[in-house]
Amino acid sequence: MSEQEYRPVKASQTTLKELMVPHYANFGGKVHGGVILSLMDKIAYTCAASHARCYCVTASIDSVDFLNPVEVGELLTLHASVNYVGRSSMEVGIKVVSEDFHNGVVKPTNTSYFTMVAVDEETRKPVQIPGLVLEEDVEVKRFLEGMMRRKFKQHHRDEMKAARKALDIEKELHKLDGQNCQLARTR
């Protein structure tokens, strides 16, 4: 990209609907969590590639809480929107709901944030992407929240790295008291 371009949030917003068929079920008869994660990855890619107009990879996924079980026969609807963009990365916010056709009840299933990075198809190196045109207050709010999440995640990564480096297990053994574990070291 020679000159910086900007694209509206709405231009890449994506909706995906998928019927929950019997072979998506787990041993308990409910839809397997992995099926939902796979659909989330698919819509994250579609939304990100549509904004960047180039090949993208999934760099990270925030925690995904499953709020309600999804039944076979329900219709799953996923909504995705680019919340924040950096130089080559995008935070895609995803909301998933399931709908029971019989009674029209719609349940929230999960929400998550995927960080997608635009890369050159040959070199696989990150490439610059267009900025976002923020046309509504909610888009400004999501962009600012995306900036905060990026900062907090980096801070958390740095803190965790330092804590792991400094971890001395002999000194920390007392912290296992009252935990649901048993020490059975052979060495």
Ligand X SMILES: CC(C)(COP(=O)(O)OP(=O)(O)OC[C@H]1O[C@@H](n2cnc3c(N)ncnc32)[C@H](O)[C@@H]1OP(=O)(O)O)[C@@H](O)C(=O)NCCC(=O)NCCS
Helix/strand/coil for 60: strand
Residue 2: HSE in the Cβ half-sphere, 13 Å Cα cutoff: 0
Closest CA to 10 of 109, 142, 119: 142
Q: Can you tell me which residue has the tokens 């900036």?
A: 147
Question: Quick one: residue 178, left, alpha or beta (phi over 0 = left, psi -120 to 50 = alpha)?
Answer: left
Q: Can you tell me which residue has the tokens 């019989």?
A: 102
Closest CB 74 distance from ligand X, rounded Å = 27
Is 46 among the residues that bind ligand X (CB under 6 A)?
no
Is 89 among the residues that bind ligand X (CB under 6 A)?
yes
Tokens of 6: 């900007």
Closest CB 118 distance from ligand X, rounded Å = 9
Nearer Cβ to ligand X (10/124): 124
Binding mask 102-141 for ligand X (x = CB under 6 A): -------------x-x-x----x-x---------------
Closest CB 86 distance from ligand X, rounded Å = 2
Closest CB 87 distance from ligand X, rounded Å = 3
Residue ranges binding ligand X (CB under 6 A) = 57-60, 86-89, 115, 117, 119, 124, 126
